[in-house]
Chain A
Amino acid sequence: MASGLETLVVQTLNGLQFGFVLFLVASGLTVILGILDVLNLAHGELFAFGAYASVGIFGYVTGAIAAPVSGGIGTTIVFVIGILAAIVVTGLVLIPVGVVLESVFLRPIYERDQVYQLVLTFALLLIIIDVTKFVWGDVPIRTNSVYSGINQIPTSELLGITFPTYNVFAIVLGAVVVVGLFYFFARTKTGRIVRATAINREMATAIGVSTDRVFTLVFALGAFLAGIAGAVRVPPTAATLEMGTNPLVLSFVVIVIGGLGSLRGAFVGAVVVGVLRSWMISFYPPGEIAAPFAIMAVILLVKPEGLFGTWGETA
């Protein structure tokens, strides 16, 4: 069953690609939850906002750089670098958004009842949806040139299977971000300070860490990752107003599977959810929606604290 095997491989890779996007959203959400103790319901809308913003940035880049013609290695490299730059710029655009949201809206309510921060992030969700609608309109917008441009580069054909090069690109990019994120939290001083704050807020303050700064930094980092995720997600699909909900809810599933605030757990959870969802699409379509939730329910019954427990001690 060569074709069956090929389907399996292709679907696994597709799932991996979606899993990486999901990880980018879920990691921001889980780190914000672990450190700020805030469930950011507006996180999915930051993802959607990034997707919309990226369309314009992609448009600018593809307008300035010609799509690679097959065979031309120089133009190919320039094009890929251009697209990478566009994705990073989208993330950077989201940073000030995150800083403003955290310092203006969230900071005054850390001390209050949890219900207020939930309705606050819900209010931000409603507002961001309408701001997006106001700026980009009610119709889905696409950017086809990026997807088709990158797909002209032959990669998977070399192995004898048909698989869009863009997805390979997205997987590689996702893997790089994952490694970078783990490096940041495990090796850099700032990352260690963030983790120290997660483990014990009072102690961190006592040794001179400004928790205000850490909180803003973490929220901005979450927004940055969500922006990148939005930009990566747009080319094969489209930017729509509803696109924020699904990653948000699946991120919840990922957090439950991986464990509250655990980065490693978020990674494992995201890959599991992404791949499983993708398998279901080709082998048992009705199970696509239910499968992630089924795993979530099992994890809740068997290991309620999630696969990797609490984050902080290790990255």
Chain B
Amino acid sequence: MSPGLVDRDGETHVRVTSGLVLSKRRFAGLIAGVLFLFAVPDLVRVAQALDISFFQLGVIHRGLVFGFAAVGLNLLLRHTELVSFGHAAFFGTGAYTAAVAAVYLDVTGLLVLLLLATALGTVMAGVIGALSLRHTGLYFALLTLAFGQLLYAIALGQSALGGSDGMPVRPGEANEPLLFGQALGDAYGVVTYYITAVVVLVGLLVMWRIINSPFRYALDAIGQDRTRAEFIGLPVRRYVWTAFVISGVYGGVAGGLFAVFRRYVTPDGTLYFLQSGDILYMAILGGFKTLLGPLVGGVVLIVLEFVGRSVTPYFEFLTGTVLLILVFGFPEGIVGSLGEGGVFRRAVGQTRHGVASLREDPSVAGDWGRRIGRGLRQQIDESLTTLRVVLFGVS
């Protein structure tokens, strides 16, 4: 079916490809998002002129690639309800593969490096997945973290991999990977950014295909109840493993992109378990019940970290606090809260409703005050009881 306008439920929708039909508003959002993605290098120049320090190509690129890894993680998190705490393993594998191939195997082609990074990331995901998926729940999280730290320790301990200093990705005389045999010179950063943008878009499209396929519904069933999924004949282990490998591929690709853009990889920057935590953090921050959430979360978190770092040496306290607020106040994340039925929509609706009733009858303000007071008193009572129970054991 060709792209064009279609009529659905009495409203005009836009069909992009077969199956991908969006409302006009969402279509406009999609176009704006894609345009923004490709306009970043130009906007960076504007930002430089305006002296906005956080809007740098490196910062946005970092956010995009980590967010891309989080998109992969999200397949596992959202549908199979498995929490991987070791996704930096695949990110780091991709990054180190690019570096090792460039330094030791004299691979000069940028795209070849990316392909190798993807391939090794996939293999690593296959191995770690086969071992970790013997368990579910927290045990699975623990195993992925342990394997991730193993890779970190290996990278840290091998002098061939540069130890804690890391290693450069610099084949060729021009100190940079070549695109179709051409050295890019000054345009290198911008061109690799565009490649990243294209890869991210393709990756999102693929992920969109996956989460609109029967495979996704099988994963949902597995996530809800494994035993039942097995009873209706789903090959649970194979499906979960496949999902794990797919999510690992996203990590590997992201790591490769990171390595060729930075032209330098370090164990702390790619493999450390805090990076795994950050990738999970991004998915939660952006909203792990959505497709785009993790990507948005990635960019937002990296920008937040960058700004935080320039303001205070205790930026981890800052990001930790933001995470706490997120867990307790906005569990749906940014995209989830902005979407229909999200916290923001509801808040806007309630405010509108409140203003309207206040206009009708100003005395409702007193009712509200009383209700808030009662709620507050109840809360205080409850916490005092809890404290009493904890301290003296009597309620």
- Give residues in A with beta carbon < 8 Å to B: 33, 37-39, 41, 99, 103, 105, 107-109, 112-116, 118-120, 122-127, 129-131, 133-134, 210, 212-213, 216, 245, 249, 252-253, 255-256, 260, 286, 288-290, 293, 296-297, 300-301, 304
User: 13 new A-B pairs (CB below 8 Å) besides A103-B386, A114-B83, A288-B157?
Assistant: A107-B386, A115-B83, A118-B83, A122-B280, A126-B323, A210-B389, A212-B390, A213-B389, A216-B390, A256-B143, A289-B150, A300-B131, A300-B143
Give 24 CB contacts A-B under 8 Å.
A38-B138, A103-B386, A108-B328, A115-B77, A115-B288, A116-B331, A118-B83, A120-B324, A125-B320, A127-B317, A127-B320, A127-B321, A127-B324, A129-B316, A130-B314, A134-B317, A253-B146, A289-B150, A289-B153, A289-B157, A290-B153, A293-B146, A293-B147, A293-B150
Contacts of A105 in B (CB 8 A): 324
Bound complex: CA A260 to CA B136 (Å): 12
Q: Mark B236-254, 1 if CB is under 8 A from A, else 0.
A: 0000000000000000000
Q: Which residue of A lies closest to B78 (CB)?
A: A115
Q: How far is the CA of A255 from the CA of B326 in the complex (A)?
A: 30
Asked if A37 and B138 make an inter-chain contact with CB atoms under 8 angstroms apart, the answer reads yes
Contact of B320 among A109, A126, A297 (CB under 8 A): A126
Asked if B320 and A33 make an inter-chain contact with CB atoms under 8 angstroms apart, the answer reads no
Please give, as numbers and ranges, the residues of chain B lying within 8 Å of A115 by CB-CB distance. 77, 81, 83, 280, 284, 288
CB pair B320–A114 under 8 Å, yes or no, is no
Which residues of chain B in 64-84 are interfacial with respect to chain A, using CB atoms and an 8 Å cutoff?
77, 81, 83
Tell me, rounded to whole Å, the shortest Cβ–Cβ distance linking B274 to chain A.
8
CA distance A105 to B327 in the complex (A): 10
What is the minimal beta-carbon distance from A106 to any residue of chain B, in angstroms? 11
Looking at the assembled complex, report how far the CB atom of B236 sits from the nearest CB atom of chain A, in whole angstroms. 15
Residues of B within 8 A of A39 (CB): 138, 141-142
Q: Which A residues lie within 8 Å of B134 (CB)?
A: 300, 304
Q: Are B331 and A134 in contact (CB under 8 A)?
A: no
Q: Are the CB atoms of A296 and B319 closer together than 8 Å?
A: no
Distance between B99 CB and nearest chain A CB, rounded to angstroms: 20
**Are the C-beta atoms of B320 and A296 separated by less than 8 Å?**
no
Q: What is the distance, in angstroms, from B219's C-beta to the closest C-beta of chain A?
A: 16
Contacts of A129 in B (CB 8 A): 316
Chain B minimum-CB-distance residue to A119: B284
Residues of B within 8 A of A37 (CB): 138
Chain B: which residue is nearest A124 at the CB level?
B320
- Closest A residue to B147 by beta carbon equals A293
Whole-angstrom CA separation of A216 from B150 in the bound complex: 32
How far apart are the CA atoms of A112 and B326 in the complex, in Å? 14
Whole-angstrom CA separation of A129 from B327 in the bound complex: 19
Does B139 contact A260, Cβ atoms closer than 8 Å? yes
Q: Which of B157, B281, B390 contacts A119 (CB 8 A)?
A: B281
Q: From the candidates A133, A245, A255, name the one contacting B273 in the complex (CB within 8 A).
A: A245
In the complex, are the beta carbons of B146 and A256 less than 8 A apart? yes
Most buried by A among B85, B143, B156, B390: B390
Residue among A38, A120, A134 with most chain B CB within 10 A: A120
